[in-house]
Chains A and B, each alone.
Chain A
Amino acid sequence: MDDMIHDASTAQCPTDLLAAARAGDRLAMSRLIEAELPWVRAVVAGYVQASENVDDICQEVFIAVWQSLHRLRSPAGFKAWIYRIAVNKVRSFYRRAGRRSSVELSADLQAGDGREALERSSRRESVLAALKKMPPKYRDPLVIHYLRGKSCDETAEILGLRPVTCRIRLLRGRSRLEDLLRKDGAL
């Protein structure tokens, strides 16, 4: 009966999907993963050294989400909860590997086609490199905000911040990024 109520084929809004996933519906869980993966991927990428580790860590994040979804007390805090899991998974990844995060550019962005593409690619590399140099408290809001044009309120919700704090961090983060890119000659 419960499964019938929380059926992913009829569940449309995130709350319904969440309820269905909590009840064990894998289809609902796959839709949730699809919705949340881009920003989780971008946040994780900001912390890790090699881009090939990003997807592995993301997989660990969503396995943890799936396994402990029944323990989530407030559905309203779902995104903030995923964010905390993601940051913890990055930490445990480095603890296991005994490695330190450092700047390494992703291979897909190193490839370019022609001078213009190379220049464009090089500027994107500079942006990603500059982002990795920034403290997470300024980097993560920027990444989440710019990835899919999320509003300040949505970004604040994911990060578990008050909107006013998020606004300040976004402005400061952008200003820092601008300085770093100017120093690098990318802007």
Chain B
Amino acid sequence: MKNMTCEQAREFLAAREMKLPFEPEAAHACEQHLAGCESCRRVLLEGRELSELLAASLAPYAEGAEELAERIAIDLPARRAAPSYWRSQVFRFDAAAAALLFGAGLFVGWWFRPAPPPAGAPGPVAPAATVAPQLIGSSGTLAHELLPRDRVRTSERRRFIIVNPVAPDVILEVDRQAEFEDRLELPDGAGAGDVPVE
């Protein structure tokens, strides 16, 4: 290393002062620099002073440490019992089982997810939360008869939303009356009339 700058020399001096690792050839280059640089020689002296000052300032924290250590050791409370091997294994098993069940639940939910509507089909109609089971009417009741108008979206009003009295929580949606009668398997004439909703 040749022609060390003042900045490089000062970094080297600080590293040497702190006993940090440095390249051997840097020491020689720094000595050469110091020979011709008065301000860096001053930095060298200040650096030594700083190290001494810093060590002296921190020394009180080491003084009397034995006494304090003894006091702390005497006052140490009884140690909490470490969990036994079997307890920790049971806990691990519980956690693993819970994680497995959660994962299985997610998978089942994904597997039985509703099929997406075919391209060009109207958007989804009233979700279960909108057509609440307690609003169940007779077979073939139309959406606008069951629900307040503001609770039925436009797309839903164009379609039939019906409930099956045999299984009231099953809410069917159809586009035409014939289709709805087929799906409900109602006897002829038992369904609602093909009354437009709007």
**Chain A residues near B (Cβ < 8 Å):** 24, 26, 29-30, 33-34, 37-39, 41-42, 45, 55, 58-59, 62-63, 66-67, 70-71, 106, 108-109, 120, 123-124, 127-128, 131, 142-143, 145-149, 151-152, 167, 170-171, 174-175, 177-178, 181, 186-187
**Contact across chains for B53 and A124 when beta carbons are under 8 A apart:** yes
**Contact across chains for A123 and B69 when beta carbons are under 8 A apart:** no
**Contact across chains for B11 and A171 when beta carbons are under 8 A apart:** yes
17 contacts between A and B (CB under 8 A): A29-B73, A34-B70, A58-B72, A59-B75, A63-B72, A67-B79, A124-B53, A127-B57, A128-B57, A142-B54, A145-B18, A146-B58, A167-B20, A167-B21, A171-B11, A171-B18, A187-B49
Q: Which of B18, B46, B58, B60 contacts A143 (CB 8 A)?
A: B58
**Contact across chains for B15 and A33 when beta carbons are under 8 A apart:** no
Contacts of B51 in A (CB 8 A): 146
Query: B74: nearest residue on chain A (CB-CB)?
Result: A30
Confirm or deny: B147 has a beta carbon within 8 angstroms of a beta carbon on chain A: no
Contacts of B57 in A (CB 8 A): 109, 123-124, 127-128, 131
Provided the pairs A38-B65, A171-B14 are in contact, do residues A177 and B54 lie with their beta carbons within 8 angstroms? yes
Query: A24: nearest residue on chain B (CB-CB)?
Result: B79
Query: B55: nearest residue on chain A (CB-CB)?
Result: A146
Q: Which of A34, A59, A147, A186 contacts B61 (CB 8 A)?
A: A147
CA distance A108 to B19 in the complex (A): 30
> What is the minimal beta-carbon distance from A32 to any residue of chain B, in angstroms?
9
Contacts of A131 in B (CB 8 A): 57
**Contact across chains for A108 and B50 when beta carbons are under 8 A apart:** no
Query: A170: nearest residue on chain B (CB-CB)?
Result: B18
> What is the minimal beta-carbon distance from B177 to any residue of chain A, in angstroms?
69
Q: In the complex, which of the residues A62, A63, A146, A186 has the most CB atoms of chain B within 10 Å of its own CB atom?
A: A146
Confirm or deny: B77 has a beta carbon within 8 angstroms of a beta carbon on chain A: yes
Chain A at the B interface: mostly helix, strand, loop or mixed? helix
Chain B interface residue count, Cβ-Cβ cutoff 8 angstroms: 37
CA distance A63 to B79 in the complex (A): 9
Query: B22: nearest residue on chain A (CB-CB)?
Result: A167
**Contact across chains for B60 and A30 when beta carbons are under 8 A apart:** no
Query: B54: nearest residue on chain A (CB-CB)?
Result: A146
Q: Which of A33, A106, A108, A146 contacts B72 (CB 8 A)?
A: A33
> What is the minimal beta-carbon distance from A86 to any residue of chain B, in angstroms?
13
> What is the minimal beta-carbon distance from B145 to any residue of chain A, in angstroms?
61
Provided the pairs A34-B65, A59-B75, A147-B62 are in contact, do residues A127 and B21 lie with their beta carbons within 8 angstroms? no
**Contact across chains for B61 and A45 when beta carbons are under 8 A apart:** yes
Query: B43: nearest residue on chain A (CB-CB)?
Result: A178
CA distance A174 to B19 in the complex (A): 13
Contacts of A123 in B (CB 8 A): 53, 57
Q: Which of B15, B50, B72, B76 contacts A187 (CB 8 A)?
A: B50
Confirm or deny: B82 has a beta carbon within 8 angstroms of a beta carbon on chain A: yes
CA distance A175 to B61 in the complex (A): 23
> What is the minimal beta-carbon distance from A113 to any residue of chain B, in angstroms?
15
**Contact across chains for A152 and B18 when beta carbons are under 8 A apart:** yes
Q: Which of B14, B18, B69 contacts A33 (CB 8 A)?
A: B69
**Contact across chains for B14 and A175 when beta carbons are under 8 A apart:** yes
> What is the minimal beta-carbon distance from A93 to any residue of chain B, in angstroms?
16
> What is the minimal beta-carbon distance from B190 to any residue of chain A, in angstroms?
71
CA distance A73 to B97 in the complex (A): 25
Query: A62: nearest residue on chain B (CB-CB)?
Result: B72
**Contact across chains for B58 and A147 when beta carbons are under 8 A apart:** yes
